[in-house]
């Protein structure tokens, strides 16, 4: 018998790798003679790079610009001689803001462009780009600047980084984009379908999560609108309404419209790179989970991706989580044979999070025993 453990991160408690380790220990406790295969899962956001390296990719260190310009040490994952995975969150995402202080108008996507360029210059022309967890709303202009583009005001001066400066944009010069970019294939791991502009756009939906006040949201919206106006004025047929254009503060827009990238669901991109489907198809039971199972889970988060894979191969799947906010009918609707939460054993949320590893082992052992009884 083979059990596959494919958990995502329990945010605030366990990384995806740590969660899989503890869940695997619980599965072995329930069935000591079972072959337990571990495959941490991610969706392109924070922790995806770590998942790729744990899956066998080689970590290549890079110095890049953090979201507000400070130098940070980050990496890309070298998967093979032609393929690399780049994570935006680790280069210039929210987790890289100095002191956690959000600066929505100044934060830039430049760092992810620098890492992308480093991966291309290593000879890898097939780039998988994870853009979750961004700190910026700059329409991807920082990323493009790192690749050789220039964003100029009416006097011909380059604009400072950040979405707040885009209201002064007068001209975009794309001639300097590194030839390696044009020769590459870029696949963006993206889990949102928001447009760039409007009520459901990058600034108005995600700006508050990045610390933007109501006034700053309107400034960012105006800047993104100006970016589209200038590009169209220069004869470029860009579509800010295309699904995913609002991802990562507009990085989705810049990647698709100006780098000819394609956008695919993050879970699918990472799952393909880590060979998740191959191990799931050969399993007798799959254990998945993340910090919280709730209504948001039902709209395409990582456990639902695992459940869909299991359904396609007729493999039963159970979910473990920190907190369960779905009734039994919704658990079944999601495709899980059972679900169990750490808070069922430790109702105090703070204590549950502090002891997440040990609790996860206990909960996994119990639910696996129940299903395989």
Q: What is the pLDDT of residues 260-304, one digit of tens each?
A: 999 998 888 999 999 999 999 999 999 999 998 887 777 667 888
How many whole angstroms from its chain centre is CA 169? 29
Low-confidence ranges of the chain (pLDDT < 70): 299-300
Q: With H, G, I as helix, E, B as strand and everything else as coil, classify residue 282.
A: coil
Rounded Cα distance between 67 and 161, Å, is 9
Summarize pLDDT for 304-323 with one digit per residue, the tens: 899 999 999 999 999 999 99
Res 286: pLDDT: 97
Residues in the chain, overall count = 373
CA 22 to each of CA 6, 13, 364: distance values in angstroms, whole numbers, following the listed order? 11, 12, 8
CA distances from 209 to 89, 102, 104, 111, 133 (A): 14, 9, 9, 20, 10
User: Do strands 83-87 and 71-80 pair parallel, antiparallel, or not at all (unpaired)?
Assistant: antiparallel
Rounded CA gap, 323 and 353, in Å?
10
Q: Where are the beta strands (DSSP E) in the chain?
A: 2-7, 35-38, 58-65, 71-80, 83-87, 126-130, 150-152, 171-173, 185-189, 262-264, 285-293, 317-324, 338-341
Burial (CB < 10 A; 0-12, 13-18, 19+), residue 176, is exposed
Q: What is the pLDDT of residues 84-113, one digit of tens each?
A: 999 999 999 999 999 999 999 999 999 999
DSSP notation for 102-117: --TTT--SHHHHHHHH
Say what the pTM is: 0.90
pLDDT in tens, 247-263: 999 999 999 999 999 99
pLDDT score for 207: 96
**CA nearest neighbour of 190 among 269, 249, 117:** 269
Question: Of the candidates 6, 114, 9, which has an alpha carbon nearest to the alpha carbon of residue 64?
Answer: 114
């Amino acid at each position: 018998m083979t059990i596959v453990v494919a958990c995502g991160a329990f945010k605030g408690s366990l990384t995806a790798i740590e969660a899989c380790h503890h869940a695997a220990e619980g599965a072995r406790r329930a069935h000591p003679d079972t072959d337990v295969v571990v495959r941490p899962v991610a969706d392109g956001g924070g922790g995806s790079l770590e998942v790729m390296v744990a899956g066998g990719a080689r970590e290549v260190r890079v110095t890049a610009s953090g979201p507000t310009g400070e130098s940070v040490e980050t990496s890309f994952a070298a998967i093979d001689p032609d393929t690399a995975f780049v994570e935006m969150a680790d280069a210039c995402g929210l987790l890289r803001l100095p002191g956690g202080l959000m600066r929505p108008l100044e934060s830039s996507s430049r760092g992810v462009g620098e890492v992308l360029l480093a991966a291309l210059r290593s000879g890898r022309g097939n780039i998988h780009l994870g853009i979750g967890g961004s700190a910026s709303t700059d329409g991807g202009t920082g990323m493009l600047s790192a690749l050789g583009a220039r964003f100029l005001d009416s006097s011909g001066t380059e604009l400072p980084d950040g979405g707040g400066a885009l209201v002064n944009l007068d001209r975009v010069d794309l001639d300097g984009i590194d030839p390696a970019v044009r020769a590459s294939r870029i696949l963006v791991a993206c889990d949102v379908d928001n447009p760039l502009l409007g009520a459901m756009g990058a600034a108005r939906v995600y700006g508050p999560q990045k610390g933007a006040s109501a006034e700053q949201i309107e400034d960012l919206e105006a800047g993104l609108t100006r970016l589209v106006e200038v590009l169209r004025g220069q004869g470029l047929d860009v579509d800010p309404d295309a699904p995913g254009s609002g991802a990562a503060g507009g990085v989705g827009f810049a990647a698709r419209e100006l780098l000819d990238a394609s956008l695919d669901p993050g879970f699918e991109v990472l799952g393909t790179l880590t060979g998740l489907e191959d191990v799931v198809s050969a399993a007798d039971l799959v254990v998945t989970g993340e910090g919280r199972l709730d209504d948001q889970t039902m709209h395409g988060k990582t456990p639902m991706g695992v459940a869909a894979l299991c359904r396609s191969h007729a493999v039963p799947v159970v979910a473990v989580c920190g907190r369960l906010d779905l009734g039994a009918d919704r658990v079944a609707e999601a495709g899980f044979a059972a679900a169990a939460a750490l808070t069922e054993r430790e109702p105090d949320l703070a204590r549950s999070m502090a002891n997440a590893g040990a609790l996860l082992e206990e909960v996994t052992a119990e639910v696996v025993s129940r299903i395989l009884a």
